[in-house]
Amino acid sequence: MSTTILLTGGAGYIGSHTFIALREAGFEPVILDNFANSHPVVLERLERISGRPVLLERGDVLDTAWVADVLRRHRPAGVVHFAGDKAVGESVAKPLKYFHNNIGGAVSLLRAMTTVFEDGSAPALPTLVFSSSATVYGDPASVPILESFPLSHTSPYGHSKLVIEEMLASLRRASPAWRVGVLRYFNPAGAHPSGLMGEDPADIPNNLMPFVTQVAVGQRPHVNVFGNDYATPDGTGVRDYIHVQDLAAGHVAALQALLSKGESFTVNLGTGRGVSVLEVIRAVERACGKTIPHVFAPRRAGDVAQCYADASLAKRLLGWEAKCSLDEMCADAWRWQSGNPNGYRG
Ligand code: UD1
């Protein structure tokens, strides 16, 4: 069987870490990326870490004919679909961008996969791992969150993830040959332990961890803690931060399960542990040995008090569980941020 795996958006934050994890597990990943929200310098880093050249297909997942051509040339055993836009605030301001790139991108990829399967030029049954998000649970009625909880959306970004999950379910009903693993990520954080790869937000970070490490490195004066009056132990928002290395291992486990057992699934990828904003700040302080100034600010619109996973289904179905601690996550995030204060831009 082919060991080739196509990674759409493979040059991005989670895609690049998954690339390394796949190589370490004996797969041959191929990156498909248009670098809309990633930087080509990551390719050199991937080559340094893995010691081998990287296979790249540069282009847009929206170009169905080209994606079909890529699939015919590489004949992957499976595809991991990371490519997409992910900024919640931007999605509220520019919903059509999210519907076009995220929903349109998924439709384009699925049509290309269907074409090569139906014309016999694919080596395997259509096999897809999709990057979904805990955002599909909306404002959960309780925590920890099980996969069976009701689904909703609070932003066009979340809406796009939900529509894609529903499209995949319809496709499987219509064509049982499809093998689909939907991974609902909680809060990815941390970086590669080498310090060579990490999260590289193009603008002011929306997410907590890169914001805190940018304050630690002196690029921003203080962290705004959005709300200290939530019904949580210290009043600040509680989330399930998962090391990007654990997340990468989750993709390897998902592909291995799809390829060996052939059964589709939808699972949470989280640690099952809720951590507050103040706990994150204190953990980054331990990692960098500095005090991180913070001020309390009003709640951010659309935020929920608590969001953390029940991660038992992924353990049962995939034999996967998160291993890294919050301190490891912060140490790796700090190593990346302090060694690359401007990310991949030098
Ligand atoms: C956000 C998105 C979510 C997306 C996820 C992963 C929103 C409303 N939700 O989730 O859809 O799937 O990122 O990319 O944007 N915080 C601060 N100060 C900051 C930044 C964050 O106090 O400068 C707090 C937030 O209020 C929250 C926690 O830190 O309590 C985590 O925030 P963030 O990293 O943005 O993730 P989510 O809000 O969980």
93-116: pLDDT as tens digits: 999 999 999 999 999 999 999 999
Question: By three-state DSSP, how is residue 345 classified?
Answer: helix
Residue nearest to atom 5 of ligand 1 (CA): 187
How would CATH label the architecture of 4-189+242-270+310-317? Answer: 3-Layer(aba) Sandwich (3.40)
**Helix/strand/coil percentages in the chain, nearest 5:** 45, 20, 40
| Exposure b/e, 289-316, CB count within 10 A at least 16 = b | eeebebeeeeeeeeebbbbbbbbebbee
d(CA 217, CA 302): 29
- For a ligand 1 pocket test, name from 136, 207, 209, 294 the mutation site with the most ligand atoms within 8 angstroms of its C-beta: 207
d(CA 108, CA 64): 5
Q: How does residue 124 score in pLDDT terms, banded at 50, 70 and 90?
A: confident
Active centre residues (catalytic):
157
210-237: pLDDT as tens digits: 999 999 999 999 999 999 999 999 999 9
pLDDT value of position 202: 84
Q: Using a 6 Å cutoff on CB, does residue 211 contact ligand 1? A: yes
Q: Using a 6 Å cutoff on CB, does residue 235 contact ligand 1? A: no
The domain limits of the chain are 4-189+242-270+310-317
Residue 305 C-alpha to ligand 1 middle, in angstroms?
A: 11
d(CA 244, CA 250): 10
Is residue 4 within 8 Å of 28, Cβ to Cβ?
A: yes
Q: Using a 6 Å cutoff on CB, does residue 149 contact ligand 1? A: no
Q: Using a 6 Å cutoff on CB, does residue 302 contact ligand 1? A: yes
Q: Above 80 in pLDDT, residue 56? A: yes
Q: Above 80 in pLDDT, residue 66? A: yes
Query: What mean pLDDT is reported for the chain?
Result: 97
Minimum-distance ligand 1 atom for the alpha carbon of 225: 22
164-182: pLDDT as tens digits: 999 999 999 999 999 999 9
pLDDT value of position 283: 98
Structure tokens at 134: 């805990």
The 8-class DSSP code of residue 343 comes to: G
253-286: pLDDT as tens digits: 999 999 999 999 999 999 999 999 999 999 999 9
Q: Using a 6 Å cutoff on CB, does residue 225 contact ligand 1? A: yes
**How many alpha carbons lie under 13 Å from residue 310 in its C-beta half-sphere?**
14
d(CA 332, CA 313): 27
How far does Cα 209 stand from its chain's mean position?
A: 14
Q: Above 80 in pLDDT, residue 346? A: no
d(CA 233, CA 190): 24
**Statement: the pTM of the whole predicted model exceeds 0.95:** yes
